[in-house]
Every structure is written in C-alpha cells, then in structure tokens.
Chains A and B, each alone.
Chain A
Amino acid sequence: MENQKSSSIRCLNLDKRNNMLLEVRDIVTTFDVEGKILTALQEVSFEIDKGQTLGIVGESGCGKSVTSLSVMGLLPKPSGNTISGQVLFEGQDLLKLSPDEMGKIRGKRIAMIFQEPMTALNPVYRIGRQIGEIFKIHFPSMNDQEILTKSIDLLKDVGIPAPEKRISEYPHQLSGGMRQRVMIAMALACEPDLLICDEPTTALDVTIQAQILELIKELQVKNNMAVIMITHDLGVIAEFCDRVAVMYAGKVVESAHVKDLYKSPKHPYTKGLLSSIPTMNHPRKTKLDTIKGQVPSLFNMPPYCRFENRCPYASDVCRQDYPPTEAIDDSRSVNCHHWKDL
C-alpha cells in the first residue's frame, strides 16, 4: 500500500525527472551496538532538484545526521550500514558504488559541511595544506603553485580577509565563523552540484550565523548548486529553504514546500514543533505549547506510529500500524492517520 502510493507520486513527477539531482528512496540504516541491531533510519525518502534547497529538520536523535552520512557513504564502519534502499544521484545508485568510485564523487560532486568546524578541520595541518589536499585528490595534474593560487582564490570567495596570510595559519588561530568559512571553501573547491550542510551554524552566534547563511546562499546562486540544509532551527529553514522534510525518530513524517508547511502543518509533530517556539509576536511571559513526553528510544521503537505516545490526536488506529505515506498534492506528503483532522 505504501509502495503503491509513493510510486504514484513518482509517476506524477516523471516530467520533472530531468531536473532531479538526488533521490533517496526508502533507505534503512542500522547500527550494530554491542550485538544489538538499532535501526536509525527506517525507510527515509526525499528528493532534491538541481539548484534547489531542501531543509531537513528534526530534534536531536531523529536521524538527520545519519541521513547525510548515509548519502555520503561516511557511516562509521563496521557498525553502521545502509542495508536497503537507493541513493540515486543523477540516476546512479551511490550505495552500489565501490569505495574508489564513491571517492570520485564525494568531495567533487557532493560535498559536505559539518557542525563543528574545529573538529572537522585537522588541528595539526595549516589551512593551505587542508584545502590543497582536495585538489591533489581530484585534480592530480595541478602543480603546487596552481593549487596555492586556487586555494587563495577560494578563501577570498568565502570572504576571509588577507587570505595570503590566513592560508599558512592553523585552525586554532581562526575564530569559529572563520573556520566555518574555511570549511565552506574546502567544500566548494570542486564546485559540487550538491552541498550537504549538517547544522553549519548551530555552534555560531546569530550575527555570524547570518553571515554564513548569506554566504552559502550567494555561492549557491553563483554555482547553481543544490543544498541540503540539516538543522533543528525552524527559523533557518523558513529563511533559507525551498522545500522541507520533517524527521521524527528515524522517519520522514512530512514533506512540503516551506510556505505550505508553515502555513498549515499536516503532521501533529510539525504542528507541535511550530507552536512550541517562542516567536517575536508571541505574548510575553505566557505559557508556550509543548509536546509532552519524549522520543521513544531506538532500543524500544514501537511497530506502529512512532509519535503515538506524544500525539494529542492518537487513537486506536495509530497503535495498529505505521501510517503510510499519503500524498496531499503533488508536492506534499504526510505520514499520519489523522492528518485530515488537524
């Protein structure tokens, strides 16, 4: 039933196919923790067109980062494995590629920025060497002088003052915002078609966050790059993304255009999230709405709707099976038995 529904969505979208860059289909990722198999992602699907921005939003532990690591083939081995599903990048299934073949795509066609620029950069190498490494791997014909000029250009592009000087510095000599700029410069070195940003501004101050988001947007337009923005901040999603997928406990529960989602959330979890953040228009010192309770543990995930224990709309049907993906229109889908009641 679930498959039929989603394949009918796919038919509707066939004409848009040519424009599709990445399609993630029903991936299941598991971790082997001390002999127990934990399913971190349970049939996660989403898609992104060329040049588009997709937001993936959810709370800690919902599988946002595991999703990006699964797409990049960077899951910690041997414990993490994507056991089924497809990651189609321009029609080619990345999960079937050999490590060598994947290495040619990773960094060159798909690049990634991580949350903690301090831990993502190597503290014992100078900035220049870390950027240069990418050219050495993907363009072995470049000589050292070319690499140096290209690296300085990149640093200039991401707005680092005095790049000639900065290039011979170590990561600890840069501020958090500057480090994140270096990460972006490295990610953009090969002009990728897809940039995955995993909480790129969470560790930064709001003023620096605004700078970094502006920079990513600017470079996105310049390079006609698609961006997947993974964050827990609904504000960042609203300002930055075209489409959004909401994740909860290893599942995508709702996916829609940003404006549709904020105007009328169809999943009770999305609705709860949106009303629990204090906004500038909310009356001060009044009670905020909350989502009661907690996310069920991965060790003990119910076989039915995973939001059932926290959901104000929950009924018997929610305790029977996991709600199928229902298409509301051709750009919107939701997994909830009660979405019409919201």
Chain B
Amino acid sequence: MSSEELISIKDLKVHFPIKGGIFLREVAKVFAVDGVSLSVNKGETLGLVGESGCGKSTFGKALLQLIKPTSGSVTFNNDELTDLSKAKLRQYRKDLQIIFQDPSESLNSRHTVEQILMEPLEIHKIGDSRNDRKAIIVSLLQKVGLPADSINKYPHEFSGGQKQRIGIARAIALEPQLIVCDEAVSALDVSVQSQILNLLLDLQEEMGLAYIFIAHDLAVVRHISDKVAVMYLGKIVEFTDADNIYAKPLHPYTKALISAIPEPDPFKEKDRVILKGDVPSPIDPPSGCRFHTRCPYAQDKCKTDEPELKDYKNEDGSEHMAACHFAGEF
C-alpha cells in the first residue's frame, strides 16, 4: 500500500438553509457537516461511521461536489475541486465515483444493463465504437461476477445483491481512483453482504482503488477499513487506524457505539454503555462539546468549551485523533 495522499479534505462545511416566512428568508441553518478535515491515501479504505443524521452521507456527497459545500477545500491529486466549473469537474467525475445504498433506486428501471453501463463510457468517450464499448461492458460484468447474458436484462430481473453488483460495475466502469460507498451493503442480507464485501476487497486489490466506506454497521466497517473516522453531529470526534479504534477507543461516543453492537456470540459477557436519548437536532447543536447531552462522563467544562480534535498517539506512535476534554481518561 502506498502512502501517497489521494484526496484531502480541509474544514469542509455544508450548511443547509431553512427558509420560512412570506419572503422565504433564511430562518435557520442545518449544520449537516460542520468543519471536517480528513485525508485518504491511494489504495486505502477510510471507514466513516456514526448514527443516522450525523452528516456521513452529506459529507460523502459534498466531497464529490454532488452537493456544493458551504466552505472548505477538497484537494484531489493536488487540484482544488471546490472552485471548478461544471465542465471542468466532469473530468474528475471519472476518478471519483459513488455506490449508493439502495440498488433498486439508483439504477434506472427503464434501462437495460447495457444502457446503464454504456452511459458513463459514452459521456467520457471511452472505447471507439459501440462494439468496443460492448466488449468493455462484458468484461465489467465478468469482473463483478454477473453472467454475460445479463447485458440485455432490466434491473427488476435481478436480486438485491446482483443489482448492487451492477451499481459497482457502473462505478468501476471509468476506472476511478476513489469510490464513495454510501451504505453500499446495508440493504443486503448477510450472506449476500459478505459476497459484496469480498468483491469490493478484490476490486481494491486489482485496481488499486481507494474507498470511503460510509456505514452504520461497525463490524462491517472494521472488516473493510484501514482507518476509521467516527462522526457525531457534523464533526469528526475520533479518527485512527481500524485496529486501535476498536481496541482502545478514546472518545466516549466511540466507546458507546462499539459496545452497542450486538455480537453474534452468546458466550461473551458484555459491559454495555447504553446512551440516553437521541441525537440532538443539527439545526441547533448543543453548546460546548456536542456530545455532552448524552455523555455519561460529561462535566461542567464540556457544556461550555468545545474540545479540539487532538492527536493522542497510539502506542506505536501512529496518529490517534480524538475530540474530548477527557479523552482516554475513563
């Protein structure tokens, strides 16, 4: 694995305005992503976890410029993406792809598999003739483990797992460098989920892909990721490599998330931290540390001072960022 930086995101913010009143003035803002800095190296997988509504998906879309970020920068191969025109951005679309959660909704039900996979090739002028492109499509199908006769079928003729394979084929058609997998396996049954995870790992090895793997299932994220970032209410609260985040979580939120996963092992006695309440609204995030309303260890300081994301270093000296006044003290 090379450690060359592929994409670097600095202080990315996405705020959605809420409009109201007769003149539809902005009355409030949803702080969906509120200052996230992360980077992904070539061929590496970054896992992004957090509860629903914490801004994971918005972050994924904003870094691909599918949602225009409010502020911040996204540098891809040393080029700044945020201030590119639509036409210029199109060249980068080749390198940056996305796989969505629900494969039945992200594939056009009136297009055959051939049409679905032909579109990106035509737009980016890959292959000289129709037959050329058809040959590429056949090899794509083979790569993702679909029979060659799928080419003339419609999405409804496939099962959920197979549809997700079509989604993956479309994402790798342009030989991208980075794929954002937005809950790409969440809708699948366990036996199919493992097939898709294996496929993603194979493709990564074969094509040197980097993934940003957004999911709420922490066991799946641990399995596929090299590094893991935990998000809470639009901010990163902890970030380090996948082994350390599960073995030695520093942030109480990470700890609670990990302890909440039901493990398929009836013999294991677990010491469970159950968080009280729900995630607060991102329209009016709590003062100080955003987690203080649910944190079992919260002190007065947490209500007023916002903790910085600081490097606490793992035992081997690698980076371990956490944003908590009392990181690692409980």
CB–CB A178/B266 < 8 A: no
Contact (Cβ within 8 A) B194 A205: no
Does B246 sit within 8 A of A, measured CB to CB? Answer: yes
Minimum CB–CB distance from B41 to chain A (whole Å) comes to: 15
Return the contact of A232 from the options B160, B190, B276 (Cβ within 8 A): B190
Q: Is the CB of A279 within 8 A of B194?
A: no
Which residue from B51, B192, B242, B262 sits with its C-beta under 8 Å from A205?
Answer: B51
Docked complex Cα distance between A277 and B191 (Å): 8
Looking at B57-65, B69-77, B216-224, the stretch in contact with chain A turns out to be: B216-224
Is there contact, CB below 8 Å, between B190 and A234?
Answer: yes
B-side contacts of A287, CB under 8 Å: 198, 201
Whether, in the assembled complex, A272 has its beta carbon less than 8 Å from a beta carbon of chain B, the answer is yes
Total A-B residue pairs with C-beta atoms closer than 8 Å?
127
Contact of B216 among A205, A276, A282, A294 (CB under 8 A): A205
Select one of A272, A278, A294 contacting B219, CB under 8 A: A278
Residue of A nearest to B259 (CB): A210
Closest chain B residue to A241 by CB distance?
A: B266
B68 at the interface (CB under 8 A from A): no
Tell whether B189 is near chain A: CB-to-CB under 8 Å: yes
With A239-B266, A259-B266, A278-B219 in contact, is A207–B275 under 8 Å at CB?
Answer: yes
Choose among A178, A214, A291 the residue with the greatest number of B CB atoms under 10 Å from its CB.
A291
One of B191, B223, B276 near A278 (C-beta < 8 A): B223
Residues on A with beta carbons closer than 8 Å to the beta carbon of B189: 59-60, 232
Which chain A positions have C-beta within 8 A of B259? 210
Contacts of A118 in B (CB 8 A): none
Q: Which of A223-242 contact B (CB under 8 A)?
A: 232-240
CB closest residue in chain A, given B263? A235
Residues of chain A contacted by B260 (CB below 8 angstroms): 206-207, 209-210
Tell me, in angstroms, the Cα distance from A213 to B259 when the chains sit together.
14
Contacts of A273 in B (CB 8 A): 190-191
Contact A238/B263 with A210-B272, A278-B197, A288-B223 known, Cβ cut-off 8 Å: yes
B194 — which chain A residues lie within 8 A by C-beta?
A: 276-278, 288-290
Q: How far is the CA of A101 from the CA of B256 in the complex (A)?
A: 46
- In chain A, positions 42-71 with a C-beta closer than 8 Å to chain B are 59-60
User: CB distance A211 to B275 under 8 Å?
Assistant: yes
Chain A residue numbers with a CB within 8 Å of B275 are 207, 210-211
Complex CA–CA separation, A9 to B257 (angstroms): 43
Smallest Cβ-Cβ distance to A289: which chain B residue: B194
If the complex has contacts A262-B267, A274-B264, A277-B219, are A205 and B52 also in contact, measured as CB distance less than 8 A?
Answer: yes
Q: Which among B191, B217, B275 has the greatest number of chain A C-beta atoms within 10 A? A: B191
Complex CA gap A30/B83 in Å reads: 59
Would you call A238 and B265 a contact (CB within 8 A)?
Answer: yes
* Cross-chain contact A284 with B191 (CB below 8 angstroms): no
The residue of chain A having its C-beta at the shortest distance from the C-beta of B261 within the complex is A206
Q: How far is the CB of B56 from chain A (nearest CB, A)?
A: 11
1/0 per position for B27-57, CB-CB distance to A under 8 A?
0000000000000000001000001100000
CB of B243 closer than 8 Å to a CB of A: yes
Say whether B266 contacts A279, CB under 8 Å.
no
Interface residues in A2-56 (C-beta closer than 8 Å to B): none
Q: Would you call A262 and B266 a contact (CB within 8 A)?
A: yes
Is A208 positioned at the interface, with any CB of B under 8 Å from its CB?
yes
- Does B18 have its Cβ within 8 Å of any Cβ on chain A? no
B contact residues around A207 at 8 Å (CB) = 51, 256-257, 260, 274-275
Within the complex, what minimum Cβ distance (angstroms) separates B252 from chain A? 12
B253 (CB) vs chain A CBs: closest residue: A207
Q: Is the CB of B198 within 8 A of A280?
A: no
Which residues of B258-297 have CB atoms within 8 Å of chain A's CB atoms? Answer: 259-267, 270, 272, 274-279
CB 8 Å contact bits of A255-276 with B (1 = contact, 0 = none): 0001100110000000011101
Give B contacts to A, CB under 8 Å. Answer: 45, 51-52, 159-161, 189-195, 197-198, 201, 216-220, 222-226, 242-243, 246, 256-257, 259-267, 270, 272, 274-279
